[in-house]
Amino acid sequence: MEFRWIEWNVQHIAQHGVEPEEAEEVVLTGVTMKGRENALIATGPTSEGRFLFVVYKKDGNQVFVITARNMTEKEKRSWRKRYGKKKRRP
C-alpha cells in the first residue's frame, strides 16, 4: 500500500495531534470498517498504545488519509470489549 500525503491532510491530522506514521500504522494494523461516501475507517492502537480513529479512501494500491484523531474514551471501551486489548488485523 502506498500512502499519499499532501500538505492539506498532513496539516489536518496535525490539528488533532496525529503524525502521518501513526495514521499509517493504524490503517495497516487496525480494524477496518466501511464509512460514509466510500470512505473506510480504521480503528485501533498504535505501537505506543495510542488509540486512533482514521478515515481514509483507497484507490487501488493508494491510500489517502482524510482525517485522524484520538478515539474517545467511549470508543476505546467499546473497541476493547469487541476486539480485545491488542487486536491486530492479520
Question: What is the per-residue pLDDT across 19-46, written as a single tens digit (0 to 9) for each?
Answer: 999 999 999 999 999 999 999 999 999 9
pLDDT of the residue at 67:
98
Is 38 within 8 Å of 55 (Cβ atoms)?
no
This prediction has a pTM of: 0.90
Q: Cβ contacts of residue 9 below 8 Å, gap of 6+?
A: 64, 65, 66, 67
Average pLDDT, the chain: 93
In the chain, alpha helices (H): 7-14, 20-29, 73-83
Burial of 76 (0-12, 13-18, 19+ CB in 10 A): middle
Burial of 52 (0-12, 13-18, 19+ CB in 10 A): buried
Confidence of residue 90 (pLDDT cuts 50, 70, 90): very low
Is 27 within 8 Å of 39 (Cβ atoms)?
no
